[in-house]
Structure 1
Amino acid sequence: MLERTPSYLLHSANSSSNSPSDSPSERQRPSPAPDEVLLDAYSHAVTSVVDGIGPAVVRVEPQVSRRMAGMGSGVIISPDGLLLTNSHVMQGARDAMVTGPDGRAIHAQTIGDDPDTDLALLRASGGGLPFATLGNSKLLKRGQIAIAIGNPLGFESTVTAGVVSALGRSLRAKSGRLIDDVIQTDAALNPGNSGGPLVATSGEVVGINTAVIMGAQGICFAVASNTASFVVTELIRHGRVRRASIGVAGQTVPLPRRVAYAAGLPLSAGVAIAAVEPDSPATRAAIEQGDVVLALDGEPVGGIDDLVRLLNGDRIGQVVTLTILRRGEMQTLPVTPVERRTLNGR
């Protein structure tokens, strides 16, 4: 009768056998280091985005009297040639020459320009153009990879990468108005990057690069894609971005703590009315010079920028309620904003 060899002895014998899979060369082959795997994944993410988005990024050269009047970057966002760039790149020009990575130059015309968000919308001639998709910038998180593509200092199709450093920043446009919901990134930007896309690893455009803090390193800004989507819609529908006005000039002033407490608002400042335009909504609402605006429709107004932000296009022609402080007493006044007109009438 044969005795059965215990299983642990069989296992021991098999482990010590010289099987082909246990050859010295196999045992000595090093496994990839974790850092190398991560680096390969990072490189793949960036190169995939560049391959997908790169063809839609163009050089933008505004034309004045058929002469080049500057240079920046832009990104095509639809197959019929809609193109986003910065307002400060176009400088009011109605025409531009745009050149893609393949060297093909095509003509583009301005559809609309919004200096208050530093965005301009153009349409490039021709169809079937490569294009990128505007993503949802509300899904961004700090530390997320951010990739910038553009033409810094005239070096075409340059790619830089970094991370989203901060969200919800405010940046003052050349018009003097604050641009809200600005993305801060440390992806290297230089003059010429303006108007180019900031892209997430999903392959969607999450921002339009707009500004660099000169003398600083790694502090760059992009207008969020959700702001860009709103501006594009407004410019297509109306040729301008509609904003409301009540016809006042004001300045930010500090408030006594007791006033904020009485108003039930988290305020340390308000907006003092310095002037009221004649025949304006403010005049019709009996707003007076010296009144201090504390809230609009219950939303705190802690400074002139808050008032400008709250007077958006949705409030044109709609009755709103201003909470004001007049000679030590709080009052509420109904006012109906009208559309604000810019200096050039657009």
Structure 2
Amino acid sequence: MGFIDKNPPVPESAVLLDAYSTTVAAAVDRVGPAVSRIERLAGGGHGSGFAISPDGLIITNHHVVGDAKAVRIRAANGSVGQGSVLGRDPDTDIALIRADMDVPSWARLGDSKSLRRGHIAIAIGNPLGFDWSVTTGVVSALGRSMRSSTGRLIDDVVQTDAALNPGNSGGPLVSTAGEVVGVNTAVIQGAQGIAFAVASNTANFVVSEIMRFGHVRRAYIGVVVDTIALPRRVAVRAGMTEETTVRIRRIEPGSPAELAGLKEGDFILAIDGQPVAGADDLIRLLDGSRIGQEAAVSVYDLDGAIGERRLMPVARSAG
């Protein structure tokens, strides 16, 4: 009589699913306690936010706080307090709050440049009043641009299919490493599974500017770009080690870029010798110190030539 195994091997698919679940749960356990519900004290409306420091700095969306100077904060541990809006940047839909209360936890801003299409994306927030909900999906695309509430374009946007709903705005988009890689900002109404988050590197830049100056100083050259793979042949010719760069999708009429002879389809490889590996690099390099200062832009154009264009960035207000 043969021995009957009462504990047959677990299917490989079940093992993988369990590993996926464990990974997601661990990331949520790490970041979830830092997520709070943000409510305007006047005019109603709410969204999400997340603490990025033990002293109560909280990132949320500009459209969540609006013109409010103070907001109500409800933390994941149930504590309630108020916070002061330190600054806001409509151009990226990011706002920074200082909580006038102890925060139970804080999250780390990761490097959004390390993201790849297909990476797992975890959204945490307060959609439709269902507080501290979690949804998962994947990173669908990188380096997108979308129009902000001011009508201007937000660059370096992460596209994901993690479900977002009203109330998720301002909450974190989290990697499996438990780091914030984006700030959830919008969903296309009527579309299936298309949502967006401002990349964490851009959010980090905005926070630094607000902490130093109270607002974001920004130089403007008038381009809309996409982050793309840098062809190896171009990288070799340009002496670059980066694997990605940006390609101009649109140029604003009369802008410094148009006046300098840049064209749609050109690759922007570097500014004053500093490599541009993505839209976040372009945003970082075009800070307030560039305003009124001639810049040398290295370009790979549609004719296959690598050359230099010289332009004069102008001031771009945050309003």
Normalised to the residue count of structure 1, the TM-score between the two structures is 0.70
- CA change 1:111–1:271 in 2 (3 A) is closer
Matches within 5 A, 1:27-106: 27-63=5-41, 67=42, 69-106=44-81
Alignment match, 2:195: 220
- CA change 1:88–1:300 in 2 (3 A) is same
- CA change 1:189–1:269 in 2 (3 A) is closer
Aligned equivalents of 2:133 and 2:29: distance in 1?
12
Structure 1 position 273, deviation (Å): 2.9
- CA change 1:267–1:24 in 2 (3 A) is closer
Aligned equivalents of 2:193 and 2:211: distance in 1?
34
Alignment match, 2:3: 24
Structure 2 unaligned residues grouped into runs of 5+ = 224-246, 269-278, 298-307
Alignment match, 1:295: 262
Alignment match, 1:12: none
Structure 2 counterpart of 1:109, which letter? S
- CA change 1:333–1:226 in 2 (3 A) is closer
Structure 1 counterpart of 2:190, which letter? G
Structure 1 counterpart of 2:95, which letter? A
Aligned equivalents of 2:310 and 2:120: distance in 1?
47
Alignment match, 2:178: 203
- CA change 1:342–1:178 in 2 (3 A) is closer
Aligned equivalents of 2:249 and 2:207: distance in 1?
35
Alignment match, 1:341: 317
Aligned equivalents of 1:226 and 1:83: distance in 2?
16
- CA change 1:103–1:111 in 2 (3 A) is same
Contact 1:273–1:293 (8 Å) recurs in 2:
no
Structure 1 position 315, deviation (Å): 0.9
Q: Deviations over 1:205-253 (max 9, x none)?
A: 000000000001110000000000000100100111101258xx99xxx
Aligned equivalents of 1:268 and 1:217: distance in 2?
25
Contact 1:80–1:129 (8 Å) recurs in 2:
no
- CA change 1:81–1:54 in 2 (3 A) is same
- CA change 1:269–1:120 in 2 (3 A) is closer
Alignment match, 2:90: 115
Contact 2:72–2:80 (8 Å) recurs in 1:
yes
Structure 2 counterpart of 1:341, which letter? S
Structure 1 unaligned residues grouped into runs of 5+ = 1-17, 251-265, 275-281, 283-290, 323-331
Contact 2:77–2:104 (8 Å) recurs in 1:
no
Aligned equivalents of 2:144 and 2:310: distance in 1?
32
Residue 294 of structure 1: SS of its match in structure 2?
coil
Alignment match, 1:148: 123
Structure 1 position 103, deviation (Å): 1.6
Residue 295 of structure 1: SS of its match in structure 2?
coil
| Alignment coverage as a number of residue pairs | 271
Structure 1 counterpart of 2:262, which letter? A
Aligned equivalents of 1:268 and 1:107: distance in 2?
42
Aligned equivalents of 2:167 and 2:249: distance in 1?
40
RMSD: 3.2
Aligned equivalents of 2:219 and 2:149: distance in 1?
19
Contact 1:272–1:293 (8 Å) recurs in 2:
no
Residue 124 of structure 2: SS of its match in structure 1?
strand
Contact 2:220–2:286 (8 Å) recurs in 1:
yes
Aligned equivalents of 2:103 and 2:45: distance in 1?
27
Matches within 5 A, 1:223-238: 223-238=198-213
Residue 24 of structure 2: SS of its match in structure 1?
helix
Aligned equivalents of 1:268 and 1:204: distance in 2?
30
- CA change 1:190–1:272 in 2 (3 A) is closer
Alignment match, 2:305: none
- CA change 1:147–1:60 in 2 (3 A) is same
Higher relative contact order (CA 8 A, sep 6+): 2
Aligned equivalents of 1:57 and 1:239: distance in 2?
23
Aligned equivalents of 1:171 and 1:271: distance in 2?
15
Q: Deviations over 1:105-140 (max 9, x none)?
A: 111001110000000000101346310000000111
Greater Rg over alpha carbons, structure: 1
Q: Deviations over 1:279-317 (max 9, x none)?
A: xxx9xxxxxxxx855239xx879xxxx9x9685424124
Alignment match, 1:278: none
Question: 237-246 or 167-176, which moves further after superposition?
Answer: 237-246
Would you say 1:182 and 2:142 are equivalent positions? no
Aligned equivalents of 1:116 and 1:269: distance in 2?
17
Indicate the percent of aligned positions where both proteins have the same amino acid: 53
Question: 170-179 or 180-189, which moves further after superposition?
Answer: 170-179
Residue 76 of structure 2: SS of its match in structure 1?
coil
